[in-house]
Structure 1
Amino acid sequence: MAFYRQVGEVPPKRHTQFRRPDGGLYYEELVGEEGFSSDSALLYHRGVPSAIVDARPWELPDQTLTPNAPLVPRHLKLHDLFPGEEHKATDAVTGRRLVLGNGDVRISYAVSSLPSPYYRNATGDECVYVERGSAAVETVFGALEVGQGDYVIIPRTTTHRWVPTGSEPLRTYAIEANSHIAPPKRYLSRYGQFLEHAPYCERDLRGPAEPLLAEGTDVEVYVKHRGSGPGGLAGTVHVLPEHPFDVVGWDGHLYPYAFNIADYEPITGRVHQPPPVHQVFEGANFVICNFVPRKVDYHPLAVPVPYYHSNVDSDEIMFYVDGDYEARKGSGIGKGSISVHPGGHSHGPQPGAVERSLGAEYFDELAVMVDTFRPLDLGEAGTAVDDGKYAWTWSGRGPSA
């Protein structure tokens, strides 16, 4: 992460003796990225962090991927995935349904009301967007209280669980990387401080404020890791002799944090601004952008909606969260929809959208976009809720007409 934090008790000097009140030693653990060459944190445990007493396979949710063939843009209706009261038997980890994926990133969706098991993703960082509801995200670093509009960044191998709070089901949109997820490099100084042109800064980020200590024995932790299953993934349940939440203190630059989309300050201009000005995070071979309520272009001849554009290098995945998305009117897309605009297909406003937008001063829209630099395939959830009609909405007729 871009700045240093200390939570709880740590010794004055790293890698030196740090003793418990009874005289025994705490166990120091370095959690670090890129083989001791990038951001890290030092955690001080009451128990041995490597200890396990049992292990068994965990059958992951369906990770099967199907190519987008024939190559067409698609409309996926996420709100159809968890009908009725299904959320009452679902948690935010094991209940995820895979919507889209490739070798770099997987996008899943869940609607849940149950606490998840303790979980760690050993394949990459996670960015989980909270569409609706609220939760306590309990982690080995401490807890985060999160709610509607929060991005929750969870570094690789962070043991954590999701505990829904409140009366509303928890709707989560999980972007799982096979790499690390961080603010764009162009927003940061060479030493990691947010620069003046960045649309958010350190003050907007919420990290754990105090240690989270728990007692327990034979505690199960679900681990997603590299393997020979679909997508190169596998799952294992580790049984720990003591509770993993035994960290009395930690410090460093690597930790989970939350950032609310309402704290993103949009960049606008006299004419239409390209998607990179809306970027919020990045991973290897993908970026995450968000489109928030904002004033729009103020040139006297401005066209506020996007121009038609060809995705030469990218698949563009837009999750429509809230508001009224002007460019997609007439397509059937609404709240809870995903549009899949694959590389190789030119896309842009629906017929009539350009004319309707002329003279607009403000767009009330909220969307999360993922652009990938390798093609995305459809997961079982994406296949299940494809409306089958979106590709023909620009022409007004399809192959059966």
Structure 2
Amino acid sequence: MAHYRTVGRIPRKRHTQFRRDSGELYSEELAGADGFSGDSSLLYHRGTPSAITAAEQWEPGDPSVVPNVPLLPRHLRLHDLFRASTADIVTGRRLVLGNADVRISYAVAAEPSELYRSAIGDECVYIEQGSGVLETVFGALDFRTGDYVLIPRATIHRWVPAEGATVRAYIIEATGHIGPPKRYLSRFGQFLEHAPYCERDLHGPTEPLLRTGADVQLLVKHRGTDGITGTRYLLPTHPFDVVGWDGCLYPYTFNIGDFEPITGRIHQPPPVHQVFEGHNFVICNFVPRKVDYHPLAVPVPYSHSNTDSDEVMFYCGGDYEARRGSGIGLGSISLHPGGHTHGPQPGAAERALGAERFSETAVMVDTFAPLGLGAGGLACEDPDYAWSWA
């Protein structure tokens, strides 16, 4: 996210002496991407960011997936996964779909999480419902319904739901980085005029979040020899001891309501709805908008064959016209896999003729490798969806 910010106190020149009033040096930490060849930020700690006093294994949940065999379109009812809120967004998330590039989970939480960092990749968390604060080593971020919360890999953070609030979170975990599509950016990283959002719509930390404490626990999810595993560390001091930082790598929020939809006389293809991209996957969103205005336009999507990708649609607002009669509703996921032709439900095209506006809200993930089903996905599947076109 190449948009420079500076927060708190920093020295005039990087990698030079920066001292506390007592004369002690602050500890400088480089948070960087792509092996010193990508975006980065410099953080200045009161303590030593690498200090640990104990470590033990921590299991971050069942990481296994089973193949989508036989190859079927699937309907998953995420709201059926939780009858009550779970402990927190970190330990309470349940894996729904995944492959080697991206993993999609869901959580319903009312409690603060422990301190957590993912050493696997960036996380993009869509807030389906609720509000609260994401506390991070960079500072605090308020979040609310409709926010995407982008968290760079290895950022120490903690989810704190608002008092009395239940947060429903749709979690997209990458094995690399997530950011705006390159076609939206100039060669220097500025958003271009044709982009459906810009820097003004992105909200990063504005001041340091200073915390004190001793013997602080931190959960870290990371790679093991046999896949994903985790470690619980004990830290001698609180990691939220950063007095200032600057750079282009940091967490931020973007609300889906600030996405400006691109429309046309006839039906527009999914890439016009793209909001972010990662390695071997893209994230799109469908928002309330005026629809096709050619006098003979058919506003709902045409049938299409996913020859290169699996399409995952999370329905989180309004009425999705193309899926009427399929059983899909709010909180549903549809998985339309590569190798299967899919399109609107029977009768949807005729019903949509003459429509001037759609009120739907949905988050779509297209992957370029097949997705398997996690335990959460298997637990909430609608077994009748595959036959709904017949």
**Shorter-chain TM-score tier:** over 0.9
How far is the alpha carbon of 1:197 from its aligned partner? 0.2
SS at match of 1:186: helix
> How many pairs were matched up?
390
SS at match of 1:17: coil
Structure 2 CA distance, aligned partners of 1:58 and 1:96?
15
Structure 2 CA distance, aligned partners of 1:389 and 1:286?
28
Contact kept, 8 Å, 1:134 with 1:166, in 2: the verdict is no
SS at match of 2:236: strand
Aligned positions of 1:123-134 closer than 5 A: 123-134=120-131
> What's the RMSD between the two structures over aligned residues?
0.6
Letter in 2 for 1:391: A
Aligned positions of 1:137-152 closer than 5 A: 137-152=134-149
Structure 1 CA distance, aligned partners of 2:40 and 2:312?
31
Aligned to 2:230: 235
**Deviation digits for residues 232-279 of structure 1, max 9, x if unmatched?**
101001111000000000000000000000000000000000000000
Give 1:153's match in structure 2, choosing from 147, 150, 155: 150
Aligned to 2:376: 381
Aligned to 1:38: 38
Aligned to 2:305: 310
Aligned positions of 1:54-203 closer than 5 A: 54-83=54-83, 86-87=84-85, 89-203=86-200
Q: TM-score, normalised by structure 1?
A: 0.97
Structure 1 CA distance, aligned partners of 2:380 and 2:67?
15
**Deviation digits for residues 137-165 of structure 1, max 9, x if unmatched?**
00000000001000000000000010010
Aligned to 2:318: 323
Q: Does 1:339 align with 2:344?
A: no
Letter in 2 for 1:60: P
SS at match of 1:331: coil
Letter in 2 for 1:74: R
Structure 1 CA distance, aligned partners of 2:90 and 2:200?
29
Give 1:211's match in structure 2, choosing from 208, 222, 231: 208
SS at match of 2:215: strand
Aligned to 1:250: 245
Contact kept, 8 Å, 1:278 with 1:291, in 2: the verdict is yes
Aligned to 2:268: 273
Structure 1 CA distance, aligned partners of 2:173 and 2:141?
19
Letter in 1 for 2:31: V
Contact kept, 8 Å, 1:271 with 1:298, in 2: the verdict is yes
Gaps of at least 5 residues in structure 2 are none
Letter in 1 for 2:113: S
How far is the alpha carbon of 1:60 from its aligned partner? 1.4
Structure 2 CA distance, aligned partners of 1:211 and 1:173?
27
How far is the alpha carbon of 1:205 from its aligned partner? 0.4
SS at match of 2:349: helix
Gaps of at least 5 residues in structure 1 are 396-401
Q: Does 1:365 align with 2:365?
A: no
Letter in 2 for 1:216: G
**Deviation digits for residues 26-62 of structure 1, max 9, x if unmatched?**
0000011011111000000000111000000001111
How far is the alpha carbon of 1:168 from its aligned partner? 3.0
SS at match of 1:317: strand
Letter in 1 for 2:115: Y
How far is the alpha carbon of 1:2 from its aligned partner? 2.6
Q: TM-score, normalised by structure 2?
A: 0.99
How far is the alpha carbon of 1:63 from its aligned partner? 1.1
Structure 2 CA distance, aligned partners of 1:168 and 1:79?
17
Aligned positions of 1:15-26 closer than 5 A: 15-26=15-26
Structure 1 residue runs of 4 or more that deviate by more than 2 Å after TM superposition: none
